[in-house]
A and B are shown apart, each in its own frame.
Chain A
């Protein structure tokens, strides 16, 4: 037993003092005058009467006063149970609260709270500990990192911002969040600047930098085995699901199970006992949801709704396999390039350009490899498809020479185009295709489609041959766009397909599709791109969409999908659906390790004493006042009796 414990017990024993005082006082009842006292027989009080407490209210007040006094005495020994801000020199602080609102923060702590709730409470404690002059900012570390509250000295605003926080299904972006926090601090004049990190560190370790983040709750980074379903999608007669696990142990003995009608055995697929992401298939024609059996630290991601088929963007490819396929056979070069991207898209080979609007409406983009000129019917359907938000890419080649009467390359080109041998070597992109675009400079084609003079109105040259002729054109048409490249995919005609720029070309195409029509499936935290005037509704209700313009200058509306589920973009009678899934990387991420320095900062701050002496003294004064009032009431009662008994003596006094 420590000295402090013994001292505390001694102080606790003082509680017996007022009780004893009241009991002792009971030995002598209050004396009163009674003229007929000579007729009263003496009757000493018996023991149980002596033990009876006479004035319970006064006793309670005195006992409370003793307790308060003990608490006041123990104030220097009381350690802070809540998070407080240590002030080295008493100066005001600039604090950026980095609160992780990613999916992994939904995991439960041993005390029943979620990591996110614990983080928010700790942040609230810190704001409550703020003093006038302290500046607070709030950065959310769910991907992408956001500045939820710019630095402000308005503590009420900080409290309100914390109150509005809600957990999300985003991935973690600690690096971005710390970068935002440090940049927010850089603008402040405070000498003492802090970055408070309230996260499970379920990402790469925080990047080094000053100020060092203060990890307030290291317990959040306690490892918690977890497996979760990132997404599940119906594909024909099967369900394809992506499952991620933090550790092999978390996957051991667990299986993915599809919801089945009552009485039927649910189809299941066992998880491989390994950490990371794995894809599972269930032979189920229709099911509402899939789930992981067993239990782990985060039940939220153990179940996922099955997205209907068709949520992926469909890319139609019109290519002649005899000319655009590799000599070993198989898919065409264009299809292989799209598959090489490993993007969530569905590639659908088409024999010809569809003339039916409905058939084209199922597509998000259409790629034409070395097409002949388009007849009026498919050309009109293609224009309408593009104007409604579709993207069309034409890889022009020798086929341009097989134009039939009445056909043209509208809307890619105007007039006639011809394929001709060229000596021009290499193309120079205008900041197109990024780093991979530079590989176009090594092109050495046998021939090319001369685009010079065939540019449609409003077309922009994305890259040019070394002789200045356009290599690729882009034209905005309605909500969509058309791209024309002067080389085909066939390796017999050029080495374009052998260059990284070729794959980058299709990546750019898919990016454009996403920008215009939005991704059919995106991970939580991503932006939903809706047509201008559209309303967005998510699993939790309407989602605020902000007006913006795409890179082509067209007005669109952007909404953030913070949680998984189905989102509907409604504009008039047209409803587009988007499926938001979990990030498998976030599910599989394990809490990181708290840097020793961050721990040291945390420990130093937590060890400071809790100064509640002011409140305790006020309480003590209130108790003293209550005792005075009680005693005054008692005296008044007694004096009232005396005055009535002897008014003359009282008057003489």
Chain B
């Protein structure tokens, strides 16, 4: 990655405005390291978290003597401890993400990468480990979870290295999601940035399945203005970016039906995510990237 390219991605966002943002996870996390989020783990905290039966090996410092005398049982005092929340970023780098209509400010992939980098930045600033998974595309390598400024640099380098290509296949998606499922513990945050177009059947269910471990799922749908509005009139021959689909149609005649189909797709994703406590954030490449970033953070904070 050239430093100039890295600067290009960074230059598209007012990173200073991210300083006031932080990642606060509403769900109880299951981090291993001390962090900013309430953890299901009990340990060396300051807030009393209850009693439990003593088991051999427990630190005798936490043996509650008063409870022993009162109840004649060996109970250990537990305190709630703050741990980190793992943030898993998933980027769709399929061929459709490279498309930009005439007059659009840029590609959908660039916009999605920017949003993910911003979310990652906020998470890293909070002290949470951040990892990156890329679905489809060329030169895309996953970035294992880590913390610190170095991790942000690695994230940015990986995002800028991605070349959009190919389609999101069930195999590639399953592989990426299984890595997340293995590494992301309870309370982890999974943020997917994609146009959600031409995804294989079952992809939605596979992604939503990640929410089973009380992980917070957020899908950011990035659309080009032309995809949102379908501005063309008259006879059109439309070729899909992925696959060989060629549609001969009339812009004026099918605009309403197209927008209804797009809304149905968004509703399907939104309903499925809501059922798992997740959220669908819709945005476009003409929108200020900070808006979807704030939406993602709010979705993570929300109690689902």
**Given A41-B254, A41-B257, A42-B249, also A35-B241 (CB < 8 A):** yes
Kindly name the residue among A35, A41, A46, A648 whose own CB sees the greatest number of chain B CB atoms within 10 A. A35
Q: Which segment, of B18-26, B92-100, B203-211, faces chain A?
A: B92-100
Kindly name the residue among B195, B235, B236 whose own CB sees the greatest number of chain A CB atoms within 10 A. B235
Produce 1/0 per residue, B127-152, CB < 8 A to A.
00000000000000000000000000
Which listed residue, B102, B232, B249, touches A41 by the CB 8 Å rule? Answer: B249
- Asked if A648 and B265 sit within 8 Å, CB to CB, the answer is no
Closest to B240 in A: A37
Complex CA–CA separation, A498 to B242 (angstroms): 129
Q: Please count the residue pairs between chain A and chain B whose beta carbons lie under 8 angstroms apart in the complex.
A: 112
- Asked if B98 and A646 sit within 8 Å, CB to CB, the answer is yes
A644 interfacial by beta-carbon distance below 8 Å: yes
A405 interfacial by beta-carbon distance below 8 Å: no
Produce 1/0 per residue, A623-653, CB < 8 A to B.
0000000000000000011001111100000
CB of B94 to closest CB in A, whole Å? 9
Q: Which residues of A contact B164 (CB under 8 A)?
A: 648
B33 interfacial by beta-carbon distance below 8 Å: no
B198 interfacial by beta-carbon distance below 8 Å: yes
**Given A28-B237, A644-B104, also A35-B247 (CB < 8 A):** no
Q: Which B231-279 residues have a C-beta within 8 angstroms of A?
A: 232, 234-242, 245-250, 253-254, 257-258, 261-262, 265
Q: Which residues of B contact A45 (CB under 8 A)?
A: 235, 248, 250
Complex CA–CA separation, A645 to B107 (angstroms): 7
- Asked if A39 and B262 sit within 8 Å, CB to CB, the answer is yes
**Given A29-B248, A32-B238, also A38-B197 (CB < 8 A):** yes
**Given A40-B254, A644-B103, A646-B99, also A33-B239 (CB < 8 A):** yes
**Given A45-B235, A45-B248, A49-B234, also A38-B102 (CB < 8 A):** no
- Asked if A32 and B237 sit within 8 Å, CB to CB, the answer is yes
A30 interfacial by beta-carbon distance below 8 Å: yes
Q: Which B264-301 residues have a C-beta within 8 angstroms of A?
A: 265
Q: Which residues of A contact B258 (CB under 8 A)?
A: 36, 39-41
Q: Which residues of A contact B195 (CB under 8 A)?
A: 35-36
Q: Which residues of A contact B198 (CB under 8 A)?
A: 35, 38
Q: Which residues of B contact A41 (CB under 8 A)?
A: 247, 249, 254, 257-258, 261
Which listed residue, B104, B227, B230, B236, touches A29 by the CB 8 Å rule? Answer: B236
Closest to A30 in B: B237
Which listed residue, A29, A34, A40, touches B235 by the CB 8 Å rule? Answer: A29
Q: Which residues of A contact B9 (CB under 8 A)?
A: none
Q: Which residues of B contact A645 (CB under 8 A)?
A: 98-102
A614 interfacial by beta-carbon distance below 8 Å: no
Closest to B105 in A: A644
Which listed residue, B224, B240, B241, B249, touches A43 by the CB 8 Å rule? Answer: B249
- Asked if B250 and A49 sit within 8 Å, CB to CB, the answer is yes
- Asked if B248 and A44 sit within 8 Å, CB to CB, the answer is yes
- Asked if B98 and A648 sit within 8 Å, CB to CB, the answer is yes
Q: Which residues of A contact B104 (CB under 8 A)?
A: 644
Closest to B245 in A: A37
Complex CA–CA separation, A648 to B248 (angstroms): 27
Closest to A49 in B: B235
- Asked if B240 and A38 sit within 8 Å, CB to CB, the answer is yes
B163 interfacial by beta-carbon distance below 8 Å: yes
Which listed residue, B101, B227, B230, B262, touches A644 by the CB 8 Å rule? Answer: B101
- Asked if B254 and A43 sit within 8 Å, CB to CB, the answer is yes
CB of A239 to closest CB in B, whole Å? 83
A31 interfacial by beta-carbon distance below 8 Å: yes
How many A residues touch B, CB cutoff 8 Å? 28
The DSSP consensus for interface residues of chain B is mixed
Complex CA–CA separation, A46 to B242 (angstroms): 28
CB of A42 to closest CB in B, whole Å? 5
- Asked if A40 and B100 sit within 8 Å, CB to CB, the answer is no
Produce 1/0 per residue, A1-44, CB < 8 A to B.
00000000000000000000000001011111111111111111
Produce 1/0 per residue, A72-93, CB < 8 A to B.
0000000000000000000000
Complex CA–CA separation, A648 to B240 (angstroms): 18
Interface size class of B (residues with CB under 8 A): 35 or more
Closest to B94 in A: A35
**Given A644-B101, A645-B100, A645-B101, also A37-B239 (CB < 8 A):** yes
- Asked if B99 and A31 sit within 8 Å, CB to CB, the answer is no
- Asked if A648 and B163 sit within 8 Å, CB to CB, the answer is yes
Q: Which residues of B contact A648 (CB under 8 A)?
A: 98, 163-164
Complex CA–CA separation, A644 to B225 (angstroms): 13
Complex CA–CA separation, A34 to B104 (angstroms): 13
CB of B38 to closest CB in A, whole Å? 41
- Asked if A29 and B234 sit within 8 Å, CB to CB, the answer is yes
Q: Which B80-131 residues have a C-beta within 8 angstroms of A?
A: 95-96, 98-104, 107
Q: Which residues of A contact B100 (CB under 8 A)?
A: 644-645
Complex CA–CA separation, A34 to B265 (angstroms): 16
CB of A505 to closest CB in B, whole Å? 103
Complex CA–CA separation, A37 to B95 (angstroms): 13
Complex CA–CA separation, A39 to B249 (angstroms): 12
Closest to B95 in A: A35
Q: Which residues of B contact A32 (CB under 8 A)?
A: 232, 236-239
CB of A435 to closest CB in B, whole Å? 98
- Asked if B247 and A40 sit within 8 Å, CB to CB, the answer is yes
CB of B159 to closest CB in A, whole Å? 15
Q: Which residues of B contact A31 (CB under 8 A)?
A: 237-239, 246
Q: Which residues of A contact B250 (CB under 8 A)?
A: 43, 45-46, 49
Closest to B257 in A: A41
Complex CA–CA separation, A646 to B234 (angstroms): 24
CB of A219 to closest CB in B, whole Å? 59
Complex CA–CA separation, A648 to B241 (angstroms): 14
Which listed residue, B99, B102, B246, touches A35 by the CB 8 Å rule? Answer: B99
Closest to A31 in B: B237
Which listed residue, B98, B197, B248, touches A36 by the CB 8 Å rule? Answer: B197
- Asked if B257 and A34 sit within 8 Å, CB to CB, the answer is no
Complex CA–CA separation, A419 to B139 (angstroms): 147
Q: Which residues of A contact B254 (CB under 8 A)?
A: 40-41, 43
- Asked if A40 and B163 sit within 8 Å, CB to CB, the answer is no
Complex CA–CA separation, A32 to B240 (angstroms): 9
- Asked if A36 and B247 sit within 8 Å, CB to CB, the answer is no
Complex CA–CA separation, A32 to B102 (angstroms): 11
Complex CA–CA separation, A645 to B100 (angstroms): 4
Which listed residue, A30, A37, A39, A641, touches B102 by the CB 8 Å rule? Answer: A641
Complex CA–CA separation, A40 to B248 (angstroms): 9
Closest to A44 in B: B248
Q: Which residues of A contact B237 (CB under 8 A)?
A: 28-32
- Asked if B227 and A35 sit within 8 Å, CB to CB, the answer is yes
Closest to A640 in B: B102
Q: Which residues of B contact A39 (CB under 8 A)?
A: 197, 258, 261-262, 265
Complex CA–CA separation, A251 to B283 (angstroms): 100
Closest to A39 in B: B261
Complex CA–CA separation, A44 to B236 (angstroms): 9
Q: Which residues of A contact B197 (CB under 8 A)?
A: 35-36, 38-39
- Asked if B234 and A35 sit within 8 Å, CB to CB, the answer is no
Q: Which residues of A contact B226 (CB under 8 A)?
A: 34
Complex CA–CA separation, A599 to B182 (angstroms): 111
Which listed residue, A26, A37, A46, A644, touches B238 by the CB 8 Å rule? Answer: A37
Which listed residue, B107, B235, B247, B265, touches A37 by the CB 8 Å rule? Answer: B247
A-B CB proximity, top 3 nearest: A35-B96, A37-B240, A29-B235
Residues of A within 8 A of B (CB): 26, 28-46, 49, 640-641, 644-648
- Between A and B, 6 residue pairs with Cβ closer than 8 Å are A32-B232, A35-B227, A38-B197, A39-B197, A43-B254, A45-B250
Given contact pairs A42-B247, A49-B235, A644-B104, a sample of 8 additional A-B residue pairs in the complex whose CB atoms are under 8 Å apart: A31-B238, A31-B239, A34-B226, A34-B241, A37-B240, A40-B254, A40-B258, A645-B99
